[in-house]
Structure 1
Amino acid sequence: MRQPIIPFSALLGQETMQAALLVNAVDPGIGGVLIRGQKGTGKSTAARALASLLPPLEVIPGCPYHCPPDAPEQMHDGCRDRFDAGETFAPAKLPTPFIDLPLSASEDRLVGTLHLGKTLETGERHFEPGLLAAANRGILYVDEVNLLPDHLVDLLLDAAVSGINLVEREGMQVSHPARFLLVGTMNPEEGDLRPQFLDRFALCVEVAGLQDPDLRREVVLRRLAFDQDPASFQETWQEQELGLAQQLITARRQLQAVAIPEEVLDQAVTLTTAARVQGHRADLALIRTARALAALLDRPAIGPMELAEAARLVLPHRLERSVASGSESLGAQITSLLETHLSLENDPGGPEEIAPDTLYYMDEDIEFPGSAAAGVSLFTHLKKKRLSAPSPLQKPST
């Protein structure tokens, strides 16, 4: 029996975390997100809610790697051989996988096991897939990733970056696709990740308990309503969930068509150079994140505004090891960098304005994630789009 999940749209006060998850859902190639914060701030709830928001997969029936039936370049060797031999596949539907990696997991449980004895007996490689196979085309969630043994973190991040899991034992090797959205969470009070691992998470966000009494009260009321009647609570938020799910599908389709202007690329490189980050991961993450955000915003090209929003997700955990110094907060340092190296005044894709009376109407009747977001343009756009679009629950008129 599947456990009921709080709708992604019903989360309150964690808009930055939600934005980081959404852009990774649009483009898993961004490289995952690390969510740092105290216990009870909605980290695992948000990750699980995202999985329920994503569309089901079309897979080859019986394939443990969830291979797509019509994309041979994404198939593992066994399915690819069948495809090349002319076999056609009747696709099966599968909910987007959400795989929870426990701290007690062994290396074999993570990457899979190559059984040498059975291989020698049968003359064929016998491989038992692990959690990386189960997470292919889905979400791999690691709670308290900072407490995971270093060698497992290394294997996990290698697969996340390459999209391939390679297992070698006694001169034999097996590889299979391992393309997943990596979500790691941690409580900094229990220790931090090693710097070499921290940098390999493309995005990083800090979450904390809400300080506004009215928002805290609303969080309690929503949780109590969900616990009392999960089905009714989910039905209340169904329209918002459908709208957001459709926006994700549209953004995925539009992603590769989003243009990257030369001046935006120059600005991204200038930002990372000024921040004195190590290597080039930050540059790539900055452009990919800005592109995914532009796709979610229905914009044809990346502008300075999308780049600025992306910088607030890409730079914090890298600034800590570079220009961070003195008593100035990381947020203030990033703001200073953006004000110095980006020009947002004339950005045609800048923050959208919504009339105050319209905002009142939306807050009361059309709740959407990020209603109180400051500086996160994504949710303002989604709210505005919800007002002008017909309900996704309504049937089109004939």
Structure 2
Amino acid sequence: MASTQQDRPIFPFTAIVGQEEMKLALILNVIDPKIGGVMIMGDRGTGKSTTVRALVDLLPEIEVVANDPFNSDPKDTESMSEEVRQQITSGQTLETAQIKIPMVDLPLGATEDRVCGTIDIEKALTDGVKAFEPGLLAKANRGILYVDEVNLLDDHLVDVLLDSAASGWNTVEREGISICHPARFILVGSGNPEEGELRPQLLDRFGMHAQIGTVKEPDLRVKIVEQRSEFDANPNEFRAGYQIAQDELTTKIIEARKLLSKVQISYEYRVQISQICSELNVDGLRGDIVTNRAAKAIAAFEGRVEVTAEDISRIITLCLRHRLRKDPLETIDSGTKVQDTFRDIFAWA
């Protein structure tokens, strides 16, 4: 469970007021990372970074191979480096450690070498060894990679991040030398729509798209300001007040991850989801796949093994709104079109 004693206390996830869309999208991606990440678009100062950090603080610790730069999982060959795999094959005993799920912040000015890692060609040629300097993707393996202002990041870098997030591997090639390592992470991007959208072909690769806005209700605004003041004045005491709720949510996420493989979605619902994607002219099948996964994840989160129409209603806008074809001058659909189509096909009152 999340500790209350930290060098830099983190605002509790359960204390965050409003922004339900963003919180739900993040939780579902943690339950099933194969959903494909979240793009969070909203005004400045709406708590995007705070919420992502609060989520990481909430998550349980993971077991890693000690002193391994890739956070290799000692029990899963798909999440371990080649070096660790060879140690296991040769019968060596691995020393393990428990760490908090890593969160890596990608700075806007990061170069491709910084992100992907570099190969020391001189050492490779003179000593005959693959000297690899791991990058941020190695650090993010089995964790969360957070890119603030992702819409200002170079398109090529966004492509690299999305490729790694989708395949779970990062490959670095230089002068005929190739190194591959696991890079399984949840990609969370955030941005301000005033600074421009991502290209549609990149946007489509994010599993979900959450829109957040500045809270308008005066009462809620006052509550948020008061909470922040209390937290800044005495962070540990403030966190202690939310510890039970934090622990309960952590347990709920752990149980949902265990339950996920048992969750079923009926054939009829799968057909209706694809019908919605077809009617909305969603390109490709990514929308269908993500909606099915997210519906299962929300059912698992609620402790159920059968997806309901209500589950689909809650997540379908998050999964499809950024995949709709639109006029270049339009902004991303708020979700009205997706919900109207859902109601028509599901005969939802």
- Equivalent residue pairs, number: 344
Partner of 2:3: none
Partner of 2:260: 255
CA distance in 2, matches of 1:262, 1:166: 38
- Of 86-95 and 237-246, deviating more is 86-95
2:295 partner amino acid: A
* Residues 1:269 and 1:230: Cα distance change in structure 2 (over 3 Å): same
CA distance in 2, matches of 1:325, 1:147: 19
Partner of 1:95: 100
- 1:75 correspondence with 2:50: no
Contact between 2:266 and 2:307, CA under 8 Å: does it hold in 1? yes
Indicate which of 117, 127, 130 corresponds to 1:122: 127
Kindly state the Cα deviation for residue 312 of structure 1 after the two structures are TM-superposed.
1.5
Partner of 2:238: 233
1:275 partner amino acid: L
- 1:195 correspondence with 2:192: no
CA distance in 2, matches of 1:107, 1:323: 32
Contact between 2:118 and 2:135, CA under 8 Å: does it hold in 1? yes
- Of 323-332 and 308-317, deviating more is 323-332
**Runs (5+) with no aligned partner, structure 2:** 1-5
Q: Deviation digits for residues 154-198 of structure 1, max 9, x if unmatched? A: 101100111110111111111111011111000011111111111
Q: Deviation digits for residues 49-103 of structure 1, max 9, x if unmatched? A: 0000111110000110011112223211100010111122232011110100001
CA distance in 1, matches of 2:191, 2:286: 22
Kindly state the Cα deviation for residue 344 of structure 1 after the two structures are TM-superposed.
4.8
Partner of 1:338: 342
Indicate which of 307, 324, 347 corresponds to 2:312: 307
**SS at the partner of 2:23?**
helix
TM-score by length of 2: 0.95
1:74 partner amino acid: S
**Runs (5+) with no aligned partner, structure 1:** 346-398
Q: Deviation digits for residues 352-371 of structure 1, max 9, x if unmatched? A: xxxxxxxxxxxxxxxxxxxx
CA distance in 1, matches of 2:161, 2:333: 31
* Aligned counterparts, 1:1-398, within 5 A: 2-319=7-324, 321-322=325-326, 330-344=334-348
Contact between 1:291 and 1:302, CA under 8 Å: does it hold in 2? yes
Kindly state the Cα deviation for residue 19 of structure 1 after the two structures are TM-superposed.
0.1
Q: Deviation digits for residues 313-339 of structure 1, max 9, x if unmatched? A: 1111112x2599999963321221111
**SS at the partner of 2:336?**
helix
1:180 partner amino acid: F
CA distance in 1, matches of 2:300, 2:347: 21
CA distance in 1, matches of 2:145, 2:212: 20
2:336 partner amino acid: A
1:313 partner amino acid: L
* Residues 1:159 and 1:258: Cα distance change in structure 2 (over 3 Å): same
Contact between 1:146 and 1:192, CA under 8 Å: does it hold in 2? yes
- Of 68-77 and 10-19, deviating more is 68-77
* Residues 1:328 and 1:133: Cα distance change in structure 2 (over 3 Å): closer
1:335 partner amino acid: Q
* Residues 1:4 and 1:322: Cα distance change in structure 2 (over 3 Å): same
Kindly state the Cα deviation for residue 261 of structure 1 after the two structures are TM-superposed.
1.5
TM-score by length of 1: 0.84
* Residues 1:230 and 1:20: Cα distance change in structure 2 (over 3 Å): same
CA distance in 2, matches of 1:286, 1:324: 25
CA distance in 2, matches of 1:125, 1:177: 16
Contact between 1:324 and 1:330, CA under 8 Å: does it hold in 2? no
2:146 partner amino acid: Y
Contact between 2:321 and 2:333, CA under 8 Å: does it hold in 1? no
Contact between 2:321 and 2:332, CA under 8 Å: does it hold in 1? no
Kindly state the Cα deviation for residue 4 of structure 1 after the two structures are TM-superposed.
1.5
Contact between 2:144 and 2:187, CA under 8 Å: does it hold in 1? yes
Kindly state the Cα deviation for residue 38 of structure 1 after the two structures are TM-superposed.
0.7
* Residues 1:214 and 1:78: Cα distance change in structure 2 (over 3 Å): same
Contact between 1:276 and 1:323, CA under 8 Å: does it hold in 2? no
Q: Deviation digits for residues 199-243 of structure 1, max 9, x if unmatched? A: 111100111111111111100110000000000010000000000
CA distance in 2, matches of 1:176, 1:207: 35
Partner of 1:390: none
CA distance in 1, matches of 2:25, 2:153: 22
**SS at the partner of 2:107?**
coil
